[in-house]
Structure 1
Amino acid sequence: MTTLPERPNTALLVIDVQNGVVTGAHNRDGVIANINTLLGKARAEGVPVVWVQHSDDGLPQGSEAWQYVPELVREDGEALVHKRYGDSFEDTDLETVLAERGVGRLIVTGAQTDACIRSTLHGAFVRGYDTTLVGDAHTTEDLTAYGAPPPEQVVAHTNLYWGFQKAPGRRGGTVETAEVSFGPTD
């Protein structure tokens, strides 16, 4: 249903699952295992995988904290998008990468739920993409000291509200890893 013409394909986005981002994150190991499951399924089906990697003053490019976690391995030919803002589209080549692959539907995984995941979900949606969040394949750190809800509530709330997103010609949605389909939607 994407509003992007001639873009029938789906891509898996793996956002910011970096050492310095997910250290101590809620359900870190379970989320990484689910992303690995999705990577295997996407690769087996020939679905494009796009990796997004954040850097900023607290996460300097090239540092150990900036590196993707060792449990997740990018294969040759899988796109890597570098970003400096929460929305993975903002001032990056993500749109070009997706257009080259004919992608109009995104399956979103990664970190952090209340920052880069939400920003990218909304950024994709307003740009015309169908955007599905994998409810058990994203995470965040505990920011309760700053007034945020506990991380499990942040994840649950994001899963809840994204499940109801729709707009003319496009839709959001939330599914679990086991329910992910990379095929066309109706």
Structure 2
Amino acid sequence: MTTIEHRPNTALLVIDVQNAVVEGAYERDAVVANIGRLVETARREGVPVVWVQHHDEELVRGSVEWQIVPELTPGDGEPLVEKSYGDSYEDTTLESVLAGLGVGRLVVAGAETDACIRSTLHGAFARAYDAILVGDAHTAQDKSAWGAPPVEQVIAHTNLYWRFQAAPGRTAGTVETKEVVFGGVNA
């Protein structure tokens, strides 16, 4: 369990599922559908859904490319955290949003696996959060032209190493969408 005192709640953290970020991403439609299922389950169970949306000089705030994909719509009252760094905590309101919700445990989904997902998972874990990665609900675009492995290998490796992440008093791990139980031990 998290080592953050008085923060027993879980939240679903949906990172950067924006038009330009997931355009052409590996298994985009299946991943977006899995995230949609997670969002529906979280809402049904009264678990907060926190949305993260990236912006920078290439992903301009307010543009079509910057918008969250049309298949997913943040609900009224669901927090939206804007960021301009890989780690969703850096120079954002994420920590205060999670504190206000009493959250010490995150279930993480979104994009991109090899950038913002990894950075945020490590940022959460280093800040004493429990951090569970949904293994079939994150994706990335192909960066093999720059020397990266194929996306499916990036995803598989991230799922593998996060499954075995450990630290005193904190929980990490990787589960599939169908295994997520927000109030239970799997997520």
Q: Identify whether the pair has TM-score above 0.5, normalized to the shorter chain.
A: yes
Q: Scaled by the length of structure 2, what TM-score is found?
A: 0.98
1:96-144 per-residue CA deviation (whole Å, 9 max, x = no partner) reads 0000011000000000000000000000000000000000000000000
1:2-39 per-residue CA deviation (whole Å, 9 max, x = no partner) reads 01001110000000000010000000000000000001
Corresponding position: 1:91 with 2:66: no
1:68-106 per-residue CA deviation (whole Å, 9 max, x = no partner) reads 000001110100000000000000000000000110000
Which residue of the partner structure matches residue 20 of structure 2? 20
CA distance in 1, matches of 2:92, 2:152: 30
What SS does the aligned partner of 1:137 have?
strand
Which residue of the partner structure matches residue 136 of structure 1? 136
**1:182 alignment partner AA:** F
CA distance in 2, matches of 1:185, 1:93: 28
List alignment gaps of at least 5 residues for structure 1: none
**Sequence identity percentage:** 69
1:8–1:184 CA contact under 8 A, matched in 2: no
What SS does the aligned partner of 2:37 have?
helix
Matches within 5 A, 1:38-57: 38-57=38-57
**1:163 alignment partner AA:** R
Corresponding position: 1:147 with 2:147: yes
**2:96 alignment partner AA:** T
List alignment gaps of at least 5 residues for structure 2: none
What SS does the aligned partner of 1:170 have?
coil
CA distance in 2, matches of 1:102, 1:61: 29
**1:48 alignment partner AA:** P
Which residue of the partner structure matches residue 115 of structure 1? 115
Report the alpha carbon displacement of residue 47 of structure 1 after superposing the two structures with TM. 0.1
- The number of equivalent residue pairs is 186
Q: Provide the alpha-carbon RMSD of the alignment.
A: 0.9
What SS does the aligned partner of 1:104 have?
strand
